[in-house]
C-alpha cells in the first residue's frame, strides 16, 4: 500500500485591499479569478504552478514576518531561472530588496517586495 503524501501547496495572503494586491500580482503575470460573492470572499491568483489566495483582512495593514518575528520571508517561489525571473520583475518595475545571490544555506535566490510589504524569495537549491 502506498503511503499518503501531499502534492502541492498554495499560499494564503491576507490583504488590506484585495483589489490593490490582485492588481500588483497581475502586473507580474498572474491571472486573477475573483470569488467575491463567496461566504469568505477571496481572489485566486495563478501563474505557472503557483496559486495564491488573497483574503480580505480586518486589519488596515499587513505585518510581514520580518516585522512580526524579526526575520523571515512571507513566501518562497521556486524557479530554476532565477536571473531571468529577476530581470522580468525589474522590467515590470518591482522592487528587488535582495538581488540574486547564493545564500549560506545553499540557495540561489533574490527577494522582491509586494504592494503590501511582503518579502517574497524567488530561487532554488543549487544542487
Domain-located, residue 5: no
Range of the domain at 105: 11-125
Q: How confident is the model at residue 120 (pLDDT cuts 50, 70, 90)?
A: very high
Domain-located, residue 103: yes
pTM to 2 decimal places: 0.93
For residues 121 and 109, what is the distance between their CA atoms, to the nearest angstrom?
A: 6
Domain-located, residue 40: yes
Q: How confident is the model at residue 1 (pLDDT cuts 50, 70, 90)?
A: confident
Domain-located, residue 3: no
Domain-located, residue 1: no
Domain-located, residue 41: yes
Residue 111: give its domain's CATH number: 3.10.180.10
Residue 6: its pLDDT value, please? 84
pLDDT in tens, 81-110: 999 999 999 999 999 999 999 999 999 999
pLDDT in tens, 15-64: 999 999 999 999 999 999 999 999 999 999 999 999 999 999 999 999 99
Q: How many domains does the chain have?
A: 1
For residues 79 and 82, what is the distance between their CA atoms, to the nearest angstrom?
A: 6
% of the chain exceeding 70 in pLDDT: 100
User: Could you write out the DSSP letters of every residue in the chain?
Assistant: -PPP------EEEEES-HHHHHHHHHHTT-EEEEETTSSS-EEEEEETTEEEEEEE-SSSS---HHHHHSS--SEEEE-S-HHHHHHHHHHTTPEEEEEEEE-TTSEEEEEEE-TTS-EEEEEEE--
Residue 127: its pLDDT value, please? 75
For residues 29 and 77, what is the distance between their CA atoms, to the nearest angstrom?
A: 14
Domain-located, residue 32: yes
Domain-located, residue 43: yes
CB within 8 A of 84, min separation 6: which ones? none
Amino acid at each position: 500500500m502506498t503511503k499518503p503524501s501531499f502534492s502541492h501547496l498554495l499560499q494564503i495572503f491576507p490583504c488590506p485591499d484585495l483589489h490593490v494586491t490582485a492588481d500588483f500580482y497581475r502586473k507580474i503575470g498572474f491571472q486573477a479569478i475573483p470569488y467575491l460573492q463567496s461566504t469568505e470572499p477571496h481572489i485566486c491568483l495563478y501563474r505557472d504552478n503557483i496559486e495564491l489566495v488573497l483574503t480580505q483582512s480586518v486589519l488596515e495593514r499587513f505585518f510581514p514576518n520580518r516585522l512580526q518575528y524579526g526575520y523571515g520571508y512571507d513566501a518562497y517561489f521556486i524557479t530554476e531561472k532565477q536571473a531571468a525571473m529577476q530581470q522580468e520583475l525589474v522590467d515590470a518595475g518591482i522592487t528587488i530588496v535582495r538581488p540574486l545571490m547564493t545564500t549560506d544555506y545553499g540557495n540561489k535566490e533574490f527577494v522582491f517586495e509586494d504592494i503590501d510589504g511582503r518579502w517574497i524569495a524567488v530561487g532554488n537549491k543549487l544542487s
